[in-house]
Amino acid sequence: MTVATCEYIPGLANVPAAQSSVSHVNGQSGILEYRGIRIEGLAQKSTFLETAYLLIWGELPTKDELDSFERDIRYHRRIKYRIRDMMKCFPETGHPMDALQTSAAALGLFYSRRALNDPQYIRGAVVRLLAKIPTMVAAFQLMRKGNDAVQPNDDLDYATNFLYMLTERLPDPLAARIFDVCLMLHAEHTINASTFSAMVTASTMTDPYAVIASAVGTLAGPLHGGANEEVILMLEEIGSVENVRPYVEQAIVQKSKIMGFGHRVYKVKDPRATILQGLAEQLFEKTGHDTYYDIAVELEKVVEEKLGHKGVYANVDFYSGLVYRKLGIPTDLFTPIFAIARVAGWLAHWREQIGENRIFRPTQIYTGQHNIPYIPIYER
């Protein structure tokens, strides 16, 4: 009898797990496309909700379709008082990602019917998740300070409303626009760890709230989300432009990771990093200079000089933290904001998965022993 063998690839690196039309990355040329549209064009002309519609439904909406989509999302921003009461019981020292995962899963208690063959249920789930996840993130931020959550303002657009709920004041229009673009840049990036987690969960035909909770839990890991938090800590550790070169040289000698650089796919500068750098400069020009930006620019220059030949360049996390920091967003909210944006991509892959579903069931290569006799406990 012939035993089939297969190659073991740690982390399933570069193993195709699906056929998808949601997004495309060319890492050698620094190209990212959502449904065939370059990210640069979307960042310049689109909005997050229009981009979310594009990703999830597969095409740009008409004006009436977008108006209806935005109107429905504004209507569903509020969360049930029982979910708010539950969140008030979370420990103040808990990480916002843990709070978000728990809250997202709780939505399934109120809205899950698992009617995955019902287009109205699908649309309702998409709307509720896009609408309520930002409300939950902002609510926990205020609750852990002992304050009541700020209710959504139906007169405000998606990005402006989130910043309003988070800071309890209306943001500057430029700040809101920059934040909206940041959401677009983080909305989707092919099949990464959290998206794969969402797809595996979706393949069981469970409800979309469990799918998003699964993805949030995966994003919470330090090897996936959270890198932009580490970038800020690194810049604080470096402290000055003069310390940049010694820091990089020591990191290279010690073979330690320089946060915000390198990518499994991109071998040139991440196109999202280029856009984010431009956004940072716009923000600093209006709101005041940031010394950490000077450190970041010098750091990128030295890393490119030392490691560019190895394809190590700035990724999306390098400048996003600087932008969020200037917007007054706490460091441990950076990853929850990543999740707010990535809900769009997760939902796009969820719809694609259930459209031609087959449950994920990978195999393994067994490395243990065989035919070991059982020894009774009194003989051990």
Catalytic positions, please? 263, 317
CA distance 94 to 86: 14
203 CB-near residues (< 8 Å, 6+ apart): 353, 357, 358, 359, 360
Residue 330: closest CA among 121, 97, 129: 97
Tell me the pairing of strands 31-34 and 37-38. antiparallel
* Count of C-beta atoms within a 10 Å radius of residue 45: 9
DSSP annotation of 34: E
Q: Which two tokens stand for residue 234?
A: 């690194």
| Phi, psi of 314, deg, nearest 5 | -65, 140
* Count of C-beta atoms within a 10 Å radius of residue 372: 7
Cβ distance 232 to 260 under 8 Å? no
CA distance 323 to 240: 19
Residue 287: closest CA among 172, 153, 137: 172
